[in-house]
Amino acid sequence: MHIETLRTLSAQTIQQAPLPLKELLTDSLYYPGAGIDGTPIRNWAIGVNSFIYADLSWSLSAYQQALDKAPVRGYRVVAQRQVHREELVKPGYSMQAPLELHKDGYLHALQINRLVQEGPFALWTIFERNADQSEAHGPERFSLLHLRAEGVATYDGLYAAHDCVPHTVAFIRPGLAFGGNYSDFENALLQVMMRSKLGLPKHLLWEHRCSEDLLPHPPWGKHYGQRIQGPWPKDGESGFCVSLWAGNHEVL
């Protein structure tokens, strides 16, 4: 996202400004199952200033409380507003369920996370670096669009439907099985990602034990085979790190 656009947004102007969705999606970092993990945001060497987070488990009130209590280190919130579905979804859009997605498991994940009962939401927040921090700490401003939504559907409805591809996809403990996700999530997500004529994201941000330097496990290792940055420590998880892997493919 262009820094010039970020600079124009304030607590007042963001309420009237149309959502620059294409700009938010282009060259962004997409993090399904994100919770409120600040690890990708803190590791600025990844090279993005627009973050798209999707998670089923956080209600709007819980997310706002967590954001108020523990903002991103060295940054403050300068602008924020809720985003309506009509701003995100193309008219007439309906999800094309991938073959890898098993309906029963998918619906169970929605049920145990109470998405239907409590409802989805999307919250757009602009953060600004504190005056006591230097440029070495990170960018002047960054954008975070957080959605209470399922990760495969979010990728299909945002990136695929709007002909965009993220710069990086973060796969960091997405809560498979007992974590509230469904077991075929990885293959279903990859199948949706591979539909795009623009190809896969250039990079994969991958979690691993700090003591290990292994290729990402299937199905990701087939597509991302070269570690180019890291390891960096993961927030709140001693012994675990994240590394940035380059794809074995071209992005148009």
Of the ranges 31-45, 110-124, 138-152, 229-243, which one carries the lowest mean pLDDT score? 110-124
Determine, yes or no, domain membership for 121.
yes
Mean pLDDT of the chain: 84
Domain of residue 48, residue span: 21-208
Of the ranges 44-53, 210-219, 222-231, which one carries the lowest mean pLDDT score? 210-219
So what's the pLDDT on residue 252? 42
Going by pLDDT thresholds of 50, 70 and 90, the confidence category of residue 107 is low
Determine, yes or no, domain membership for 4.
no
Determine, yes or no, domain membership for 202.
yes
So what's the pLDDT on residue 109? 59
Determine, yes or no, domain membership for 72.
yes
Going by pLDDT thresholds of 50, 70 and 90, the confidence category of residue 111 is low
pTM of structure: 0.88
∠ at Cα 13 (87, 36), nearest 5°? Answer: 60
Number of domains in the chain: 1
Determine, yes or no, domain membership for 142.
yes
Going by pLDDT thresholds of 50, 70 and 90, the confidence category of residue 115 is low
Of the ranges 40-44, 109-113, 186-190, which one carries the lowest mean pLDDT score? 109-113
Contact assessment for residue 4 and residue 23, using Cβ atoms and an 8 Å cutoff: no
Determine, yes or no, domain membership for 166.
yes
> Does the structure show a pLDDT above 50 at 149?
yes
So what's the pLDDT on residue 215? 86
Contact assessment for residue 141 and residue 79, using Cβ atoms and an 8 Å cutoff: no
Phi, psi of 23 (to 5 degrees): -70, -35
| Residue in the block written with tokens 């963001």 | 14
> Does the structure show a pLDDT above 80 at 225?
yes
Going by pLDDT thresholds of 50, 70 and 90, the confidence category of residue 180 is very low
Determine, yes or no, domain membership for 234.
no
> Does the structure show a pLDDT above 60 at 131?
yes
Determine, yes or no, domain membership for 7.
no
Contacting residues for 59 by C-beta, under 8 A, at least 6 apart = 114, 118, 121, 148
